[in-house]
Amino acid sequence: MDRFSEFASTLDRVRATAGKNEKVRILSEYLRELDADDAERAARFATGRASLKGSADETQIGYSTITDVIEEMTGLSSREMSRVYVKHGDLGKVVEEVLSRKRETTLFQEDLSLRDVAEAFEAMSQAKGTGSQLIKKGRLKSLLLRASETEAKYLIKILTKEMRIGLVDGLVEEAVARAYGLDRGAVREAHLLIGDIGMLARQARSGDLGLVRLELMRPTNFMLADPMERPDEIASYFGKEVYAEYKYDGVRAQLHKRGGEVRVYSRRLEEITASFPELVEGARRIDHDLLLDGEIVPFRDGRPLSFQLLQRRLRRIENFGDAQSASPVVFFCFDILLLDGEELYRKPLQERRAALARVIVEGGTFRQAETKSVSEADQIQRLFRRSRSLGYEGLVLKDPASPYTPGRRGKFWIKLKEELDTLDVVIVGAELGHGKRAGIISDYTFAIRDGPDLKVIGKAYSGLTDKEIEEMMARIKSLTTEDDGYYRKVKPQLVIEVAFDSIQKSERHDSGFALRFPRIKRIRDDKDAGQIDTIEKVREIYSSQKVTSEP
Ligand code: AMP
């Protein structure tokens, strides 16, 4: 059983090293010595995750709970804690600094093992309902009592999902490959398929990488679409007859069904089954075991409703029953990856669609995404207009001969949307609005991703309804890490989609760019900060602009 202190000191060394190659080397040498159980735990923890991706259970322990426990253990006041927090801006580091003041210690200073930590995290996730906060606090406290300062830092970094040691998932994946002498491409492939880095490390360590399979009840990464701007560009890119499907505007989801058991996963590979009871019921009526890919769309009387209606259901906020009847949903299926034990995902889309047609009985909560064959630009243009007039977002064009490639934009799927483009960004700060919105937090500063860093690219205050602003205000308050009364820094978690007229170069923000007339298109609760757009995409859009408004 391996000690957690070893893990913590390895990560400290990784953090202290600037070079990526060196980081990978240090981590891989550490992983090489672990057995399969510990390799699973260590790889998962190193990416700042406490539990298996796709499990409905998350430790769900927030900043304030952690701070409470620390204050209790050290006798520090909240004022003193905030002073230390301002210095580091990282709760893990705060804990490392203040923990030497802990007033109690346990009698038996038994070393923490990776397994102890995993078990404690598991117990925290299992705690539900009334009294659960108390259980979580108790568990955290007993972990911290046994931990050194460095160990405590990493415990907190994992729980807050803020590793910040320059070790992105890709590097952990590389370390796994190097640790066990495996081909990087094969490891990447397996990772995309099984989704969870811990499972990947386990399989790699056991020499079972070749046995990695797509399995029911374990989410896989979603296949993605590349954007193109014009129908003629798309027609000449494919140069043959392809499928054109409406681009449904809802929540991407994967539905797994085995016997009477049904699970629905979001694009972040989180389980969202409980938000959609009618899908569970509907799926049970399908007489097959299967894995479907599709879009959950709020839908009534043959027409899509506003995407925003889904947000309430996803977050399962108060009055869930109301939210459910206000936004009945349909699952528009556009792909099938497994059917009754048969692997379909490597087969051509044409065959997968034929299988889908056999198992989906039209009319209920499950429908097939409409497909038409097109080859000419004007056909694409016409369908695109039709899609917009029916209330859909555009088109997705797909190569009928293509396999399903989890987690990839393989240019087998091309999306055509209305505006030039939009960016998915994360909110990093907020301030009080002006005029009609004076006194209300309604002005959001947002960032895109630049490697491991977040870089600010703009501010927006328009686009949300008053009700949404109210909800955002509450969420922003709970994510605030620093507040000077006017501007507050916000933990980067809230993802929004912004539309804009153009991108300009600008000294105003640290990304070096600014958006012209940004407006919030919608709140993207289906995405997390890891999935926002990057500086590369910004540069691409910037240079694709036909007329830039540069001075
Ligand atoms: P975007 O979110 O703009 O990057 O567009 C890609 C998304 O479009 C996918 O992740 C799906 O959620 C959604 N989508 C809607 N309809 C389809 C469809 N027929 N095929 C594939 N993706 C679709």
What pLDDT is attached to residue 248? 93
Please check whether residues 234 and 146 belong to one and the same domain. Answer: no
The answer to whether residue 13 is domain-embedded is no
CATH of the domain at 131: 1.10.3260.10
Q: What is the pLDDT of residues 385-410, one digit of tens each?
A: 898 788 888 999 999 999 999 998 88
Q: Provide the phi-psi class of 216: left if phi over 0, else alpha when psi is between -120 and 50, else beta.
A: beta
What pLDDT is attached to residue 214? 95
Average pLDDT of the chain, as a whole number: 90
The answer to whether residue 123 is domain-embedded is yes
What pLDDT is attached to residue 549? 31
Please check whether residues 399 and 461 belong to one and the same domain. Answer: no
* Structural domain harbouring 83: 48-160
Ligand 1 atom 16: residue of nearest CA: 247
Separation between Cα atoms, residue 124 and residue 116, nearest integer Å: 12
Please check whether residues 279 and 408 belong to one and the same domain. Answer: yes
Token match 């798309």: residue?
234
The answer to whether residue 17 is domain-embedded is no
Ligand 1 atom 23: residue of nearest CA: 247
CATH of the domain at 260: 3.30.470.30
Q: How many domains does the chain have?
A: 3
Quick check: 278 pLDDT over 90?
yes
Report yes or no: 4 and 113 within 8 Å, Cβ to Cβ. yes
> Could you say which of 108, 139, 160 is where a domain stops?
160
Closest residue by Cα to residue 492 from 519, 460, 455: 455
Please check whether residues 365 and 514 belong to one and the same domain. Answer: no
Please check whether residues 393 and 438 belong to one and the same domain. Answer: no
| Interval between CA 267 and ligand 1 midpoint (Å) | 11
Closest residue by Cα to residue 441 from 431, 450, 451: 431
The answer to whether residue 18 is domain-embedded is no
Please check whether residues 336 and 383 belong to one and the same domain. Answer: yes
Q: What is the pLDDT of residues 156-166, one digit of tens each?
A: 999 998 888 88
Q: What is the pLDDT of residues 103-127, one digit of tens each?
A: 776 666 689 999 999 999 999 999 8
The answer to whether residue 6 is domain-embedded is no
Find the residues whose C-beta lies inside 6 A of ligand 1.
225, 245, 247-248, 252, 295, 334, 369, 396, 415
**Residue 247 annotated to the active site:** yes
Please check whether residues 480 and 397 belong to one and the same domain. Answer: no
Quick check: 356 pLDDT over 70?
yes
Please check whether residues 356 and 478 belong to one and the same domain. Answer: no
Cβ-proximal residues to 485 (8 Å cutoff; 6+ apart), any chain = none
> Could you say which of 417, 448, 472 is where a domain stops?
417
Q: What is the pLDDT of residues 489-535, one digit of tens each?
A: 999 999 999 988 778 888 899 999 999 878 898 899 999 999 999 99
> Could you say which of 390, 417, 444 is where a domain stops?
417
Please check whether residues 108 and 230 belong to one and the same domain. Answer: no
Predicted TM-score of the model (pTM): 0.76
The one catalytic residue among 247, 415, 455, 491: 247
Please check whether residues 393 and 447 belong to one and the same domain. Answer: no
Percent of the chain residues topping a pLDDT of 90: 64
